[in-house]
Amino acid sequence: MEFFLSCSPGRKRDFSPVLWSQYFESMEDVVVENETGKDTFRIYKSGLEGPVLLLLHGGGHSALSWAVFTSAIISRIQCRIVALDLRGHGETKVRNPEDLSAETMAKDVGSVVEALYGDLPPPIMLIGHSMGGAIAVHTAVANLLPSLLGLCMIDVVEGTAMDALNSMQNFLRSRPKTFKSLENAIEWSVKSGQIRNLESARVSMVGQVKQCEEAASPECPKAIVEGIIEEEEEEDEDEEGGGSVNKRKKEDDTETKKEHLYTWRIELAKTEKYWDGWFRGLSNLFLSCPTPKLLLLAGVDRLDKDLTIGQMQGKFQMQVLPQCGHAVHEDAPDKVAEAVATFLIRHRFTEPIGGFQCVFPAC
């Protein structure tokens, strides 16, 4: 009976946004100067000692996608977290946000580390998800981080990524263009399966969307995205023969038009010319990195030929985390933290804390 009550469909979930400060200890805007001016990169930090885990998010996401993972890893090992909003994403402000080439973004990572630590950076492990995983590899291959300890890619494999590029525009077109509130955006992300973990979605989606300056501005078309909850409730009322459905819908529309809408912070469809450069040749670039390497995947079917051979030759450690979507570190932050912590301890890069016990995976 208790199980039935706790799982009853009538129970409302909380889709309200959560602040970054619930998960990170501090936030900083790092100014990078060069001959043409200044760029400002947003970072979120936690931890005081141990190696730096430099976290690079996927396309369209932000540093906030690492929030729940940060809490999980900090409680397991001695480490410092630096989660970075890449150019064109989150709260980072650069003069040319449209330039999302692998070379430019890799240089950004090196410049931010130099601005933070000068000529004597601490030991750094690069961890990247999807696009961020590709940028991590490009950064490592270009030798932009002299103190690099290790490299971790999360759910990015050249073969799978290149195959997926053909359908990427269709996927992007299928997403809502606007949301009537942050709650609505968070709810969509969970119910669509983009992020399968509500706790992570509540902090992460804040970095993916922004408030429109005007409801009818060009980047925020007038098309209103109805709340998913409201749609479900309307269906229920309709079944009961409720004649108030249309009336309430009109009231909702009027109310929504008075509010500021939310839209995506970055138009990923316009970045298509860079996609090939992120992923082509990635497997061999990853295998060529001399540092210890970890590959975390949502499914073993994602492995391409080069990585399969490399894995059989023991060139990197791999772990498959089933029952996850593409945003593995958001869907299963504790499992990802466990895998990363075990990897770092195994290579004697850090020490466990809080009684954390390593469980070395078979592969």
**Which residues are designated catalytic?**
130, 155, 326
Interhelix angle 305-312/158-174, nearest 10 degrees: 140
Distance CA 315, CA 290 (A): 9
Q: Which residue has the tokens 């061999």?
A: 284
Burial 201-210 (b: 16+ CB within 10 A, else e): bbbbbbbbbb
The residues pairing with 52 across neighbouring beta strands, listed in sequence order, are 80, 124
* Chain centroid offset of residue 73 CA: 16
Which is nearest to 47 in space by CA: 73, 86, 21, 18?
73
Q: Between the CA of residue 179 and those of 176, 185, 262, what are the distances in Å?
A: 7, 6, 5
- Asked if residue 317 lies in contact with residue 307, where contact means CB atoms within 8 angstroms, the answer is no
Judge residue 99's burial from the number of C-beta atoms within 10 Å of its C-beta, 0-12 exposed, 13-18 middle, 19 or more buried: middle
Pair type for strands 52-56 and 124-129: parallel
- Asked if residue 24 lies in contact with residue 84, where contact means CB atoms within 8 angstroms, the answer is no
- Asked if residue 90 lies in contact with residue 59, where contact means CB atoms within 8 angstroms, the answer is no
Distance CA 32, CA 111 (A): 7
